[in-house]
Each structure stands twice: as C-alpha cells, then as structure tokens.
A and B are shown apart, each in its own frame.
Chain A
Amino acid sequence: MAEVKRARVEGPRGTGRVEVAKVVNMVKDSCARRITTGCPILDETLCGGLRTNSVHEVVGESNCGKTQFCLQLLLTSQWNEEHGGLGCKSLYINTEGSGGITATRLREFADFHASKGFLCGGGEDEGEGLGPAQASLMSMDNIFIERCTTDDPNSLLEVLLRAKTLLEHHNVKLIVIDSIANAFKGMSSSSLDDGGAQKQQHESQRLTQVLYRTMNLLKRYACDYNACVVITNHVADHIERVSVQRATQALTETLCTSGRIVRASLGMGLAQSVTCRYFVSRLEGVRLNENEYDTSGCVRAFEVVFSPFQAKRKTKYIINQSGVWGIPDAVYETGQ
C-alpha cells in the first residue's frame, strides 16, 4: 500500500498539496492480498479468501465455530504464498478467557497442517528440513496470544496500541480479536435499557466512542501494514417490541440461527465500522453421513452478509478434528 499516501495535515488552512494515488496503480500493484481459509469451498464463498487491508467481522451465536474459524486462520496465514497464505505471523487477542483450551486446540490444528506439509515453521528459510512435529511446534511460536479479559474496553485499545511493534518489526499481518462483543459487553446491556438512566447513557456513549476509536485503529493498521483484521461478534435476540430494533430490522436482512431471529451485538456503531460482515449459524435438524464426513457435530452455515468486494453467498460447513471445512452443495443433498 506504499502508493497510497495519507492526506497531509498542516493545520486548518494548510496549503499542502493533496497527495493522491491513482486507482490504476493500485490495481496494477494488487496491493491487497488474500489469506486462504485452508478450505477451497470456504475460499470460494469468500471470493478467494480473506482480503488484507480490510476488517472482517464474523457474527454468530455461541458454538457456531467462530473461534475455530479464527484459529484455523492463525495457521493458514503462515502458509507460504504459493499455497495462499501470507507467510506471516499473527496476533490473537482473546477476551473470553478460555486461553488454555485455545492452545490445546491450536496444537491439534497445527499438527494436521504440519502433516500436510503446509507449515514450514518460521516463515524464514530455516524451516525447510523440519519434521512435522517440529514444524507444528514452530508454527505455534509464530502466533502471539494476548489475553484481555478485563471489563474495561480501554485495555483492549491499549493492547492494540502496544501491538504496533508486532506489526512493525515482527511480520505480523493478521490480527484476530475474539470477541469484540465481550470486550464491550457493558455497551449492549445499557443500550438495551429503553428507559435509560442518564448515568447509564453516558457510560454507553463513552463505550461507543472507545469502540469507534478501537475500530479506527484496526483500520489504520490494516491500511498501513496491509494487514488483515478478523473480529468475532456475538448475537442477541431480536426483540420486536423495542422500537429501535424494529426500525433497524425493517431496513436490513434477517439473520436467523437455530430457528430464531437475531441481530449482531454492538449495534449499528460496529456494523458501520467493519468492512465486511459474515454470519455463521447452526442449521437445525440437518445431519450428514457421518461415515463420509468425520464429524459428530451439527451442520453450520457460513454466509456473506455484506462486503464491498464479495457477492452474497452462503455455504454449509462442518467442524472436525482437523479443522473447519465447507461441504459441497451436492453432497449435502444426499447426506440429508
């Protein structure tokens, strides 16, 4: 993204020249790259993978595979470029407090990826001759994990401000925040309150501001370092009698999971500050042939809700020991 210069700041009446980039150069240099998800079907749904220089939001109820999806990305981003990765390191910010489980599960993924020969350990040249076990351990070392489980969303902002060195000096090009909703949980509860004591309203306003600032910082990283940002978000029930929700619902698409209508947490403020939103949901009463697909879990759906560069698509996927996998539509018909 070296082509794109920032507007110069020289005071309100500066006579500084406006530095512009020509779009034709941006296309030619193909400044934005893609990170594969590791699964061709999911990649197709995402039109080639997750684009860098963007903020992606994965919304879904609990137990839909948001975290699993993110963990997989932490590894696929390390793949070298011919396999569709970036050959980069990554930062995983956990706000949910399940740190131990994360590492164990990550190891499981890493073992699988290493056994397929996708991981070369360091991103640098030393990894060529490593065995799968070593490569898997080395790849774990390329993932920075930061826990941020306090109530104060400012601490998330602080973590992100500190993360600048990682982006600058450690080749980190993927930032995952799992989840943004938990970091700002004070906001959704107070905005739900229709009456709204004034103190609560102020608190909510303050949080909104921190949210905007956090998102702007993430966008800035995405732009300056050509990085990819993935955040996960929770859902809340859509309540028809709350007038604000009703008014919003009339203008947007319905999100449906486990047979109920939901909305993404953190409201319009967050929706307006992400580049694209994906919705993951559980499909009720759909089972696959378990012999053919190594899974005992349910079938889930992955859907592009909005995105400036992806068509609206939907695919079904499953989660098993080795990762998150899309299922071809044809197989799904027979499996039903």
Chain B
Amino acid sequence: MYSNDSRSNAATSTTTCLDAHLVACPPKLRRALVDAGFNNVHDVCHLSAMDLARELGTTPEEAQQVIDLAKTKAVGAYLGNSVTFRTALELFENPCERIPLGIPRLDAALGGGISAGQVTEICGPPGAGKTQISMLLSVTAIAGGGSTRDSAAGRASCSDRGVLYIDTEGSFVPERVEEIARGVLGSEAATRQLLSQIQYVRVHSQVEQLALVSDLASHLERNRNIKLVVLDSVAFHMRSGATSTSGDKLDFSKRQHSLANMFHLLTKLAVENKCCVWVTNHITVRKAEGGDGAKVVPALGDLWAHVPAERFFVWNTDDFRGLLLHKSPSSPQVLVDLNRETGLFA
C-alpha cells in the first residue's frame, strides 16, 4: 500500500524539507537538491556552478539556474524586504491617493474621490451614463479635481498624471472628452495638454482583452505617470463567449479560469502600481428562486463580485438620473442626482 503511493509521497517530501525559496526550482532539480542534502538557500549561494553541478549530478547550466534563484531569494531575505509589516497608524497617516470624480458631494463622502490601489466598478443599464462618467473621471483625474462649479476661473493648469482608457465597446468619443475637458479647464491650450495625457486603446475580442490585461503591468512600468486605468466595459467580450452550450464547445471551466486570472491581474495592477482601476460593467436580471420577483444584478456573477472594492450603480428613468455608491468599505451609501449635481447630461 505504501509503495503504491511512494511517488507522490516522495514529491511532497521534497517540498516539505526544502527551503521555501528553492521550491520554485523545476521538480527534477528539486529532487537532486534534496538527495544531495541541500535544504537551505544559504547552502547553495556560495557554491560555484561547477561545484554544485558535481554535487547534484546535473549540467552546470541547471546548477547555475538554482544558484541564480537562490541568490535573488537570499538577497531579499537579507534585506528583510520579502515581508514588511506596517502598523495601522502608518497606513492611516499615509492614505492612498484619491482621484476626484468632480461630483462634490460624492467626493466628500469618499474622502476625496476614488481610491488608488483598488478596483472600482460602476454598473448600470445601457444608456444610464457609465461611459459619460468614465470620460468625466478621465478628465478630472488629470485636471486635479477642479469641479466645474467651484474651481476658480483661472485654473487652467493640470497635473502630469496620465490616464489609460481601454475601450472594449467602441463607445469612447474623443470629441465628447474634449468637450468635457474644455468645460472643466476653460482654456484651449490646457485642454489639448490634458487630452495628450489620455492614452486610448481599443480591444476587439476576448482574447485581445485578456492579452492586453496581462501586458498592462509592463506598460504601466514604462508609463509611471498613469494613475487611472479605465476599462469600459469589462463585460462585453466576456459575455459574448458566456454560455456553456455554444456550438464551438467553449470549455466553461477554462473560461472561468481565464476570467479569474484577468480579475486577479486587475487587482494586482491597482495594488502594485498604486493606480486606480475603474471598470464599467453590464447588469443582468436575475429571477428570484421560485418566487415571482426579479432583481437587477451586475453581470459576470460572483467570481467578479468580489473584485471591486467599491461599487457604483447608475440608472436613468424618465425624471431621475441617479448615481448610487452601493458598496464601499469606508463610506455609507450615497445617492446623487446626476441631473442636478453635474452638468454632464444637460
């Protein structure tokens, strides 16, 4: 009975007795390390590739690979930066950057605007104003919160922040952004300057979207001034491949996996680059179990629901256009009448 399981047992035993930093080696090398008695990063670091190769019975290249890995990990361990602990007081005294929405009452409730370092979602029925608010946010992120109303007329300068606008639906209208920017800034030159700081990319399919999101980290690395990434919308391409009964038999679990991966990347992007990721989402109607009722819920299901830290809901009826801060870890729910409090939909 024991011998039947020996393979898998051996595999687990190599990982348990090996230094956590060396587990990242390929399995074959992992075995060799354990067999030769190297358990710790520091056992390996000071050896030359040739020596280690002789000890392990591998090629020098492979040995070098192990040494490189060990060295990077060991340096991290010496400097003590592999894990850092901060106190609540430190966090409290260094709050994240906020990107103002330009809607005074909402910005006040949020403590200055949308928080950097997290994913924020806005959802609503088609035509409610998701894209309009996204375009407004792109402008105010650069203009630095000069809301249309209370900014002095002389405010014609803007910050050097950048914005990346990812358009998956083709609803981005540069002329409209210019209009909004001119309304906020007033001067022609400043408007042009602001527009030059907004980068735009159009995505045509689910594959492109996934590829783009995974390439974003390196893009933001090169463009460090980007403080806002707008994804309008996250749902369109994801939903077009949504059903498990499609003709080309799209593997459902595979799809869920790639979605989860993308969601994770978006969060990671926000945290690591300290930028705000603003995402628009569709809504869908879910029927109550057994009962007669139905309610409107954001699309993409539970997998997505945990990603955004803050969630806005926008809708438009005959006489009211509302923006509701629906979920937020720091603020109570706030309802704003967009027609009254912004000039956006006049």
Contact = CB atoms under 8 A, between A and B. Distances in A.
A6 B208 contact: yes
A88 interface: no
B280 to A, nearest CB: 11
B15 interface: no
A13 B321 CA distance: 41
A272 B239 CA distance: 11
A252 interface: yes
B293 interface: yes
A308 B178 contact: no
Contact of A305 (B127, B170, B283): B127
Interface string A5-48: 11111111111111111111011001110000000000000000
Contacts of B219: 17-18, 20
B285 A244 contact: yes
B208 A9 contact: yes
Central interface residue in B126, B178, B211, B235, by most chain A CB within 10 Å: B126
A305 B247 CA distance: 34
A51 B205 CA distance: 23
Given A55-B170, A306-B126, A23 B198 contact: yes
B282 A272 contact: yes
Contact of A206 (B164, B247, B346): B247
Given A6-B202, A19-B201, A27 B195 contact: yes
A54 B173 CA distance: 10
Nearest to A277: B127
Interface stretch (B41-49, B65-73, B312-320): B312-320
Contacts of A80: none
Given A308-B171, A308-B173, A206 B246 contact: yes
Interface string A163-207: 000000000000000000000000000000000000000100110
Interface stretch (A116-124, A132-140, A209-217, A281-289): A209-217
A98 interface: no
Nearest to A10: B211
A9 B318 CA distance: 43
Contacts of A273: 169, 236
Contacts, number: 197
B245 A205 contact: yes
Given A205-B245, A311-B346, A7 B203 contact: yes
Contact of A251 (B128, B164, B288): B128
A334 interface: no
A254 interface: yes
Given A220-B204, A273-B236, A251 B245 contact: no
Interface residue range, chain B? 35 or more
Interface in B203-230: 203-205, 207-212, 214-216, 218-219
Contacts of B200: 4, 20-23, 26
Interface string B163-192: 011000111111111100000000000001
Contacts of A8: 211, 215
Nearest to B282: A272
Nearest to B218: A15
Interface in B95-132: 124-128, 131-132
A22 B198 contact: yes
Contacts of B205: 216
A209 B211 contact: no
A13 B211 CA distance: 7
A66 interface: no
Interface string A143-179: 0000000000000000000000000000000000000
17 contacts: A11-B211, A14-B214, A15-B218, A17-B219, A18-B215, A20-B199, A21-B200, A22-B198, A219-B169, A244-B287, A248-B285, A252-B125, A253-B318, A273-B236, A275-B170, A308-B135, A309-B175
Interface of B: 124-128, 131-132, 135, 164-165, 169-178, 192, 195-196, 198-205, 207-212, 214-216, 218-219, 235-237, 239-243, 245-247, 258, 282-285, 287-288, 292-296, 315-318, 345-346
Given A18-B219, A277-B127, A312-B345, 15 more contacts: A4-B200, A6-B202, A7-B201, A7-B203, A15-B218, A205-B245, A208-B242, A208-B243, A209-B242, A219-B169, A244-B285, A247-B294, A275-B169, A306-B127, A308-B172
Closest 8 CB pairs of A and B: A306-B127, A212-B240, A24-B195, A243-B294, A20-B199, A7-B212, A271-B126, A26-B174
